[in-house]
Amino acid sequence: MKLIGSLTSPYVRKVRVALAEKGLDCPFVLEDVWSADTAIQSVNPLGKVPCLVLEDGEVLFDSRVICEYLDTLPPVNSLIPATLRPRLAVRRAEALADGVLDAGVLMRLEQTQREPAQRSDKWVARQQAKVERGFAELATELGERTWWVGDRFTLADIAAGCALGWLAFRLPELDWPGRHPSLKTYYERLMTRPSFAGTVPRAG
Phi first, then psi, for residue 29 (nearest 5°) are -105, 120
**Neighbouring C-beta atoms of residue 77, cutoff 10 Å:** 13
Q: Is-contact 159 149, C-beta < 8 A?
A: no
Length of the chain: 204
Q: Give CA angle at 111 (66, 47), nearest 5°.
A: 30
* Residue 198 confidence (pLDDT): 97
* Residue 204 confidence (pLDDT): 54
* Residue 35 confidence (pLDDT): 84
Q: Which ranges constitute the DSSP H helices of the chain?
A: 10-22, 63-70, 84-112, 121-142, 155-170, 176-179, 181-190, 194-197
Give me the tens of pLDDT residue by residue for the chain, a chain 204 residues long: 999 999 999 999 999 999 999 999 999 999 988 888 898 999 999 999 999 999 999 999 999 999 999 999 998 789 999 999 999 999 999 999 999 999 999 999 999 988 999 999 999 999 999 999 999 999 999 999 999 999 999 999 999 999 999 999 999 999 999 999 999 999 999 999 999 999 998 875
Spatial distance between the Cα atoms of 116 and 122, rounded to a whole number of angstroms: 14
Sheet holding 2-5, edge to edge: 28-30, 2-5, 51-53, 59-61
Q: Which SS3 state, helix, strand or coil, does residue 20 take? A: helix
